[in-house]
Amino acid sequence: MAGMLVDERDQKFVLFEQLEIDKLSDYELYSEFDKDVYLMVLSEAKKLAENEFMPLNSVGDTEGVVFKDGKVIMPESFHRLWALWNEGEWRGLDIPAEYGGQGMPTVLGMAANEFFEAANLAFQMSVAMPRGGALLIAQHGSDEQRAKYVDKILTGEWSSTMALTEAEAGSDVGATRTIAERNEDGTYSIKGAKVFITCGDMDLAKNIIHLALARVKGAPAGTKGLSLFLVPKYKINSDGSPGEPNDIKVVSVEKKLGLKASPTCQLSFGEENNCTGELIGRENQGMTIFFTMMNESRLIAARHGAGIASSAYIHALEYSRERLQGSQIGKESNRQSPIIKHPDIRRMLTMMKSYTEGVRALIYYSSYCIDRVHVADSKEEKQKWEKRLGFLTPVTKAYGTELSFRVTEAALQVYGGYGYTKDYPIEQFLRDEKVHSIFEGTNGIQALDLAGRKLSRDSNDLYTGLLKDITEFCTEYKEHSGLKAYISILDEAKKALAEASVFLLELQKKDFELFALYANQYLELFGDVIVGWLLLWQAVIAWEKLSSIAGDSNPDNAQLENFVTDNVEAAFYSGKLGAAKFFISNVVSLASAKAAIIRIADRSALQIAENAFVV
C-alpha cells in the first residue's frame, strides 16, 4: 500500500506507460533528464510531503492565520515547511533553466506537486503563487526586472501574489478600478483596493511582490486598458535589498470555510498616495500577459482540487478496510465485516477511484500538451498542441474540480457520522476543496471560455484534433476482445459531443443567451468524453500488460482473482480496467442523453421572469 496522499503507482502509470514522458528526453529541451531523474523527484516529493507537510495540515487548519497590527502571521510551524521547500528548490522544478529553474517538464511538476497539495494545500498555496509570479516576471519582465526579482522569488527569499480581483471586479476583470499614474522616474503610483489576494500578506518571506492589475490614467475602459505592475511590499533599495515600506495596507483577512492557514487578504494600495510600482511589459498589455499564464494557473487550480480528492479517496479506502459494520451479503456469519465488502461502499470507492484517476490523467495530459508546445519543431506542431491545450484547460479546471469535490463528498459519506466530526481529516478536506469551483475563474467562466471562445474560434481544431484522435482510438479497438462494449459507448458519446458542438456553434449565431445557458452542460459532456477516452486508453494498456503478466490473451478479472491477490502489478492493472469500465458504464453512457438536452435547448431558465423565482 502506498502512502495516504497519492496513488503513486497510478502516477507512474500515467507518466510512463500512458504518456511516456521519458520520450520527451528525445527533445533537446529535456535531453538531460530521464526516467530515473523523474522517479527520484517524485520520491523526494513524496517523502517531504508525507513526513513534513501532512502532519501540519490539521495544525494549520486549527491555528489558522492571525491578523494583528496590520500584519498576517502564519502558523509558526509553517516556517519550517517554507525553509524545506526553499532548500529543495521546489519552486523552480519545472521553470526553464534560462530563468534559473531546473527546466523539467510541466507534467512532472504537476505530478510532484500533487503530493504537496494532497498533504497540505493551505501551505502549498503560499509557494504555488510565487512560482507563477517568478515565471511571469521571467517571461515578460525586462532584463533588469528578471535580475531584480526572479531569483529572489524562486529561492523563497521573497514571495509574490496575483493581485487581480477587486470587490466590483471578480469574474468581470474589465471593471478593474485600480489606477496607475506615470511618475517622472518611470515608476508608477498605484491607487486602488484589491480583494481575495492569496498570501497578500504573510511572514514567511522578507518581501512580497504584488503583480497588480491597474489602469493607467487615460487608458481605455475594459480589459484592453489594463496594465500589469510589480508592486513590492517593501520598496527595493538600489542594492536590491528591501527598504522602506511601500504604501500598501492590509485592510482585512477573510474568515473562510476552509484553507484557514492560507491568508486571503484585502489590500489597499496608495491610501497615502505613496505606493510605487514598476510596469511589466508595456502599458495596456496586462491581460495579454496574464493570459499567457492562464492555462497553467487553471491547470494548477485543478491540481489543487485533485490533490485533496486523492488523499480523501485513499483515506476513505483505508477506513473502509478497517471499519466493521454489518455482515457481508451472502455470508451467514454473525461477524461484522469491513464495509469495503458492502456493494454501496464499493460503488462509492470505485466512483472515487475512477474520478480521481480520470482527473489525474486529465491534468497530466493537459500539462503534457504544454510540454509538447515547448518542444514542437514546427509552427503547425506547436499550434496543434496549443489548440488542444486551449480546449482542455477550461475542461480540466471546471470538470476536474467538480469531480474532485464529488470524490471528497463521497469520502465523507464512506466515513458516515465520523466523517462529519473533526476526529477525522475528511471534513477539513471538504472545506478546503470547496473553493476550487470558484477560484481561478469560476466554473461558469470556464464553460463560457470553452464554448464561447475556444469552440467558436477553433472548432475545426477540435474536430481534426481531439475528436479525431478519439475516433481513431475507437476504430482501432472496436473489436477489442475485453473492452469492445466500452469502446462502443465511448464512440457513441464522442459522436454526441461532436453533434452538440455543431449544434452550439449554430445556436451561438442565432441566440447567444440560449447558447450561453448550455455552456455548462457542454463542458460537462466534453469532460465525460475526454475522461472516458483517457481512462479507456489506460484500460487498453492495462489489458495488454495484464495479458502479458497472466500469459493469457483474455485476462478476465473474475478468473484471475487469486492471481490478482498475489501479484501487485496484476492487481494494479486489473484495477485500471475496473475504473475505466465503471466510468464508461456509469458516466459516459449518459452522454447521448446529455447531448439531447443541449440540442433540445429548453428555454425555461431564461424565460422565468425575474420576479417569478420567488414572489
Q: Which residues are catalytic?
A: 440
Is residue 221 at the binding interface for a copy of itself, with CB under 8 A as the rule? yes
Q: Could you identify the residue written with the cell 479525431?
A: 468
Query: Site for a copy of itself (CB under 8 A): which residue of 35, 249, 342, 374?
Result: 342
Residue 548 or 565 having the CB closest to a copy of itself: 565
C-alpha of 305 from chain center = 6
| Interacting span for a copy of itself (CB under 8 A) from 86-94, 235-243, 384-392, 513-521 | 513-521
Non-local (6+) Cβ contacts of 558 within 8 A are none
* Interacting positions 441-500 with a copy of itself (CB under 8 A): 442-444, 447-448
Is residue 66 at the binding interface for a copy of itself, with CB under 8 A as the rule? no
Residue 168 or 244 having the CB closest to a copy of itself: 168
Instruction: Classify residue 121 as left (phi > 0), alpha (psi -120 to 50) or beta.
Output: alpha
Residue 97 or 485 having the CB closest to a copy of itself: 485
Long-range contacts of 172-179 (CB under 8 A, 24+ apart): 173/213, 173/223, 173/226, 173/287, 174/221, 174/222, 174/223, 174/226, 176/213, 176/214, 176/215, 176/226, 177/215, 178/212, 178/213, 178/214, 178/215, 178/269, 179/214, 179/215, 179/216, 179/217
* Closest CB 365 distance from a copy of itself, rounded Å: 21
* Residue 216 to residue 193: CA distance in whole angstroms: 15
Residue spans of alpha helices (H) in 103-150: 106-140, 143-145
Residue 267 or 516 having the CB closest to a copy of itself: 516
Residue 508 burial (C-beta neighbours within 10 Å; 0-12, 13-18, 19+)? middle
Is residue 187 at the binding interface for a copy of itself, with CB under 8 A as the rule? no
Letters for 94-123 (x = contact with a copy of itself by CB under 8 A, - = none) are: ------------------------------
* Closest CB 92 distance from a copy of itself, rounded Å: 30
* Closest CB 410 distance from a copy of itself, rounded Å: 10
* Residue 326 to residue 120: CA distance in whole angstroms: 34
* Closest CB 544 distance from a copy of itself, rounded Å: 17
Residue 95 or 121 having the CB closest to a copy of itself: 121
* Closest CB 562 distance from a copy of itself, rounded Å: 9
Judged by CB under 8 A, the number of residues near a copy of itself is: 115
* The residue type at 325: Q
* Residue 146 to residue 23: CA distance in whole angstroms: 31
* Interacting positions 147-186 with a copy of itself (CB under 8 A): 165, 168-172, 175
Is residue 552 at the binding interface for a copy of itself, with CB under 8 A as the rule? no
* Closest CB 604 distance from a copy of itself, rounded Å: 4
CB 115 within 8 A of CB 3: no
| Interacting span for a copy of itself (CB under 8 A) from 2-10, 286-294, 366-374, 384-392 | 2-10
Backbone angles phi, psi at 182, to 5 degrees: -65, 130
Q: Which three cell numbers stand for residue 542?
A: 492495462
Letters for 258-297 (x = contact with a copy of itself by CB under 8 A, - = none) are: x-----x---------------------------------
Letters for 299-328 (x = contact with a copy of itself by CB under 8 A, - = none) are: --------------xx--x---x--xxx--
* The residue type at 77: S
* Residue 110 to residue 93: CA distance in whole angstroms: 10
* Closest CB 206 distance from a copy of itself, rounded Å: 28
Helix (H, G, I), strand (E, B) or coil at 252: strand
Residue of 352, 168, 200 whose CA lies nearest to 265: 200
* Interacting positions 569-608 with a copy of itself (CB under 8 A): 569, 571-572, 574-575, 577-579, 581-582, 585-586, 589-590, 592-594, 596-597, 600, 602, 604-608
Backbone angles phi, psi at 465, to 5 degrees: -110, -105
Residue 369 or 412 having the CB closest to a copy of itself: 412
Is residue 420 at the binding interface for a copy of itself, with CB under 8 A as the rule? yes
* Residue 277 to residue 59: CA distance in whole angstroms: 36
